[in-house]
Structure 1
Amino acid sequence: MALLQPLTDLAEICYAHGMRHVVISPGSRSAALTLAFVRHDGFKKHVVMDERSAGFIALGMAQQLNMPVVLICTSGSAAYNYAPAVAEAFFQQISLLILTADRPSEWIHQLDGQTIYQADIYGKHVKKSFTFSSDYTHQDARWMINRTGNEAAILAQSKPFGPVHINVPIREPFYPSGEEIISVSQEVRVVRKTESEATLSVETWHDLLNAWDSFDRILIAGGQHRSSERLSHALAKISEELDVPVLGDSLTNQKGYQDFLTYQDVFLPHANTDKLRPDLLITYGLSFISKAFKQFLQKNPAIQHWHISEDSHLVDTFYSLNRQIPVSAEYFFENLFEKIDYQLFVQGSDPENDTSYKAHWKANDSNAGVILRQYLDNLSVLNDLTSVNLLINSIPEGAQLHIANSMPIRYVNALGNHVSHVEIFANRGTSGIDGCVSTAIGAAMVTAKPVFLLVGDVAFLYDRNGLLIQPLPDNLKIVVLNNSGGNIFRMIDGPAALPELENYFETRHNFTAKRTSEDSHITYFEADNMETLKDVLSVFLQTDKTSLLEVFTDPVENAKTWKGLKSYVGENW
């Protein structure tokens, strides 16, 4: 009997816990898992033949839904191909429930096909890994599968979010006979976890506020974070009314307040850091893009550094952490402002921190913005930076912009508040180039917003298999910066001076995205000069189908322009 009742019930457990999307990569040993979800009417099913792309498509979906997406694959190397997406989901704190079919344990390392060591295959890159019993008939085994299914579903949705793995050994036969009917059993039991919000005690708040009052120069900085109106509003009030500088990368998605600092990548290498060093540093979110900012804080450590995070893992990026506060950023900054504001009202006093400190940060930020705009206005030749600037200023407000790693994310981050009208996403958990196309596809599949992907040619070619799914979402638009190789290696000092640059670092090539677009029925546009790009971009933006714009640039010109920006800022500082 190939329809295994506990696996049928597992699908029902996932549905009961709110999961609605399942991404399936075809295979034989996973047939019972596949059928359990396919024949359940509550799931939207997505078939992706390449498991690496499937993992990232599921990640893109879960990123938008804030809900686990189920992944199903067969045994052997198929499971390993999920690994890049699983690692990215772990460090980006995105929920996935990974179901990998497997051989029974006695057949591991017995020269049987598609058999590898799958238990704990993702190591520390999952919140937890479970393995079912290969006996689906014994009462204890059914009880264990029911309990484990609930535990995995709860764990995937508990903060900090992340991927959870269930390895599922299955014996032959794999396929049911025609008369077998799949239905949920009476044994299904759903276990729910009561949600709670982490808060701080009155005593803790007194301690924090006393510490706050003891520092003159206070800096708030955000790493990668989902767009949050509540958070942006609270931070804006702190910055405006308490004169505290608030800084964020493009991925921080701080929106709606003109005094948020965004040009740190541009000005920190040239600024007077003595005036910018914080006494108290308060950070939130995940990783920071700006290398200049990280180096600045590592060389100028704060006296105290508080990090706001519900993650139990201690992260000390800036060599100065001495307090981890396990609450949400929204809760912390809303309460921080309310308590300080009330305290000042009762005392009838003004903030005691150094108000000139914010003025120094703001002056540097404003000056950097002016110099950057001057530099961009003087550029007339098509290159990666001018292409990205033109694209950013053309994307409609409220759209999503997904950005590939390597140079695209660095270009966007240097443009500061030019991107304040869109929500930014990027796979900065591991910062790899793999999966950026598939992640954007997954996001577009579950949101009605326009989804733009800015990607380099190497990252695009590396992840073309994500485009094998049909149909592709109509709201997806892809911009490929094709400079015939890994252009970032011309930008950094080490490989740029080596004679092996082109063959072993840049990996020069002559491929384009045109044939891939034809194969995937994507409307294709191309441009190789500024005038053409401006004309084509207008049509590209108005196209109501999946479309791709390929911009051809010269790697030497790109390196000259990027390094020229840094020189121009230094000369005009």
Structure 2
Amino acid sequence: MSASRSSEVDAVSDAYLIGEWSRLVFATLLQAGVTDVWVSPGSRSTPFTLAAARTAGITLRPVVDERSAAFMALGYARITGRPGAVLCTSGSAAANYFPAVVEASQASLPLLVLTADRPLDVQQAQAAQTIDQLKLYGGFARSFFDLGLPESSPAALIGARRALAQAAATARGPLPGPVHVNLRARKPLEPRAAQTEAERGLGARVTRLLETPLLRYAPEQALANEAVLAATRTLQSAGSGLIVVGPVSAANESLAQPLAQLAELTGFPVYAEAPSQVRFALSEHALSVPLLDWLLSTPALAESLKPDVLVCIGSTPTSSAYERWAERVPTRVVFAEHGYPDAVGGAELVASGDLSRGLSALCQELARRASAREPSSFAVRLREAHDGCVRRIDELLAEPTRELVEGAVVKAVVESLPTDAVLALGNSLPIREVDAYVTRAPRFRVVCQRGANGIDGLVSGALGSALASGAPTLLLLGDVSLLHDVGALASARLVTSPLVIAVVDNAGGRIFDQLPVQKVYAADAALTELWLTPPNHELSHAAALFGLTYEAPTSLEAVRAVTRAALARGGPTLLHLRVGPNSAAEQRRRVLGALAAQVTPGG
């Protein structure tokens, strides 16, 4: 380096350099398609927060709790398919992102994690707010980038820009997921304006660099033609089959049309769970069997229903009865958006890629080789059993009750959603009860956390989806799930579109009442709280604390009326749905009993 060049670099102050470095970071991320950033307060992240706030085109959302911020970014990604970014200070703040990083990794959701950090020279020295942040998220991160301390050399600036573009691209695919970018900064952390010729020269270089085209990497992931041909041969040779649609991204094109065509070409019935995005679009289709889980939960019926092949679309279905039953089906073909969703094991074919194009190609190949087939005897038996199940559930839900029954409440709330709304489903009972009781509803998008299947950040995720969509949004979750993420209600003020947080209050984690462990705590009342963990908190106080409208209807008619009204006005509403604590387990017992009773010898 020449003496004059060395003098120029030396004349750039740290305060100016950190400002230009931070400007480069966020202008580059914006050019790479990152438009939304959730920021949590802190000192070490000061220059990066300022740069994000001053970058036109970036929406900056302040959230105190890093864990909540990260789940909000995931809710955004579920709707848009684009990576939201989260930004925090150094130290334990970054560790709070971990649950969302796990969910993003397991669910193949794009997420950009930006963590401010201190210089290497204070690491391992008990410096304040300093931990080892190198590859903090381990194997859950798709990639890790440490930009190092800011430098003013052209090579350093170009390298940082390349790394940021690569990070944003890696988050999007070919296997979407979380990417960690570590941003080191030395004090002073407050940028200042240029005061020297060297500083003005650095500013000009950064501006020129930002004016150069950014390398774009757009991975194309199409289902391989070999997979389409192999699946065609399998389906043609099968005498009977079933199409099963698990969770599918709400950000992509609907699969309703190619799935309907596939069903008609093969004569295979279709079981679509709520997060498939097609359950309600196909509700009137003659081959739709949305209540299959009930049939497979009835041993005699499950035993009598044995297709030759399963065509599995999307991620792993929620139904545990289906998982047990699927092990006995001789052949399975799996088409997924990402990854290898074959939890049962032994699938003949697993292929991932663009499902809309892949299914359309499969239909074209099937249509070219043969005409549509009539439903098999398996399909006829399944339809007969399914129609009987529909009648029995309708009868049970119509019976008068002294208290609100969980299944009826879930049905009333979901059916109150307007067309093109967003339904965010909590884990444990809510997602299962929608599949159990709701067969017809307006067409809307459904989002859920089925990556790691936890209850972490459910409120936060729904807030992110509501902000991303701008559409009326309803979150359906249990009382324990709300308590787990109650702090997220502080951020509900960010949502100005209609948002309903519908809390099914059944006095605890009642899914355990439907699991074998129930017999353990039923025999010893002292053990009950270890599983049910009943919140015993007054939700109206939470609504008042965070400034939310509070509603607590006590009849099904009121549930419908209050839900529709809340979805028609702006801002958040906390909808408190008190139901009989044992109503979910009792209603399930009655339905299964009725189905078992209607099975005749020989199926």
Q: So what's the TM-score if we normalise by structure 2?
A: 0.87
Equivalent in the alignment of 1:326:
352
3-state SS of the aligned residue for 2:439?
helix
Aligned counterpart in structure 2 of residue 355 of structure 1, from 376, 393, 408:
376
CA spacing shift, 1:50–1:236, aligned 2, 3 Å: same
Q: What pairs up with 1:428-443 in 2 under 5 angstroms?
A: 428-443=450-465
Q: Following TM superposition, by how much is the alpha carbon of 1:42 offset from its aligned partner in structure 2, in angstroms? A: 1.2
Q: Say whether the 8 Å CA contact 1:473–1:546 is kept in structure 2.
A: yes
Aligned counterpart in structure 1 of residue 289 of structure 2, from 261, 266, 285:
261
Equivalent in the alignment of 1:309:
336
Q: Say whether the 8 Å CA contact 1:264–1:292 is kept in structure 2.
A: no
CA spacing shift, 1:67–1:398, aligned 2, 3 Å: same
**CA displacement 1:294-350 (0-9 Å, x = unmatched):** 11112x1323x2222353x43421222132223322122111111211222xxxx66
Equivalent in the alignment of 2:496:
473
Q: Following TM superposition, by how much is the alpha carbon of 1:496 offset from its aligned partner in structure 2, in angstroms? A: 4.7
Letter in 2 for 1:17: A
Aligned counterpart in structure 2 of residue 238 of structure 1, from 262, 271, 293:
262
Q: What pairs up with 1:26-105 in 2 under 5 angstroms?
A: 26-105=41-120
**551-560 or 76-85: bigger deviation:** 551-560
Q: Does 1:527 align with 2:564?
A: no
Partners in 1 of 2:169 and 2:20 — Cα distance? 21
Equivalent in the alignment of 1:448:
470
Task: Give unmatched runs, 5+ long, in structure 2.
Answer: 1-13
RMSD: 2.5
Partners in 2 of 1:327 and 1:503 — Cα distance? 44
Equivalent in the alignment of 1:120:
135
CA spacing shift, 1:151–1:391, aligned 2, 3 Å: same
Equivalent in the alignment of 1:424:
446
Q: Say whether the 8 Å CA contact 1:489–1:496 is kept in structure 2.
A: no
Q: What pairs up with 1:171-570 in 2 under 5 angstroms?
A: 171-177=186-192, 184-188=206-210, 189=212, 190-201=214-225, 205-227=228-250, 230-254=254-278, 255-257=280-282, 258=285, 259-270=287-298, 271-298=300-327, 300-303=328-331, 305-311=332-338, 313-344=339-370, 351=373, 355-380=376-401, 381-419=403-441, 421-469=443-491, 470-498=493-521, 499=524, 500-530=526-556, 533=559, 536-537=562-563, 539-570=565-596
3-state SS of the aligned residue for 1:287?
coil
Larger Cα-atom Rg: 2
Partners in 1 of 2:229 and 2:529 — Cα distance? 60
Partners in 2 of 1:118 and 1:377 — Cα distance? 57
Q: Does 1:21 align with 2:36?
A: yes
Q: Say whether the 8 Å CA contact 1:61–1:446 is kept in structure 2.
A: yes
**CA displacement 1:71-112 (0-9 Å, x = unmatched):** 101111111111111111222222111101112233222211
Aligned counterpart in structure 2 of residue 158 of structure 1, from 165, 173, 190:
173
Q: Following TM superposition, by how much is the alpha carbon of 1:243 offset from its aligned partner in structure 2, in angstroms? A: 0.6
**15-24 or 319-328: bigger deviation:** 319-328
Q: Say whether the 8 Å CA contact 1:218–1:279 is kept in structure 2.
A: yes
CA spacing shift, 1:506–1:260, aligned 2, 3 Å: same
CA spacing shift, 1:370–1:390, aligned 2, 3 Å: same
Q: Following TM superposition, by how much is the alpha carbon of 1:65 offset from its aligned partner in structure 2, in angstroms? A: 1.6
**CA displacement 1:276-311 (0-9 Å, x = unmatched):** 33323221211211111111112x1323x2222353
**333-342 or 178-187: bigger deviation:** 178-187
CA spacing shift, 1:205–1:88, aligned 2, 3 Å: closer
Partners in 2 of 1:42 and 1:329 — Cα distance? 32
Q: Say whether the 8 Å CA contact 1:57–1:466 is kept in structure 2.
A: no
Q: Say whether the 8 Å CA contact 1:405–1:432 is kept in structure 2.
A: yes
Equivalent in the alignment of 1:136:
151
Partners in 2 of 1:382 and 1:267 — Cα distance? 25
Partners in 1 of 2:145 and 2:400 — Cα distance? 56
3-state SS of the aligned residue for 2:148?
coil
Q: Say whether the 8 Å CA contact 2:422–2:466 is kept in structure 1.
A: no
**CA displacement 1:473-531 (0-9 Å, x = unmatched):** 33111111122322222232214541234322112232122122112221111134556
Partners in 2 of 1:229 and 1:171 — Cα distance? 46
Task: Give unmatched runs, 5+ long, in structure 1.
Answer: none
Partners in 2 of 1:229 and 1:204 — Cα distance? 21
Letter in 2 for 1:489: F
Q: Following TM superposition, by how much is the alpha carbon of 1:550 offset from its aligned partner in structure 2, in angstroms? A: 0.6
**381-390 or 15-24: bigger deviation:** 381-390
CA spacing shift, 1:406–1:354, aligned 2, 3 Å: closer
Letter in 1 for 2:281: G
Partners in 1 of 2:336 and 2:584 — Cα distance? 38
Partners in 2 of 1:481 and 1:471 — Cα distance? 24
Identical amino acids, percent of aligned pairs: 27
3-state SS of the aligned residue for 1:561?
helix
Q: Following TM superposition, by how much is the alpha carbon of 1:366 offset from its aligned partner in structure 2, in angstroms? A: 2.3
Q: Following TM superposition, by how much is the alpha carbon of 1:354 offset from its aligned partner in structure 2, in angstroms? A: 6.7
Q: So what's the TM-score if we normalise by structure 1?
A: 0.92
Aligned residues: 564
3-state SS of the aligned residue for 1:141?
helix
Partners in 2 of 1:365 and 1:445 — Cα distance? 38
Letter in 2 for 1:193: Y
CA spacing shift, 1:106–1:315, aligned 2, 3 Å: farther
Letter in 1 for 2:291: Y
Partners in 2 of 1:146 and 1:174 — Cα distance? 21
**87-96 or 322-331: bigger deviation:** 322-331
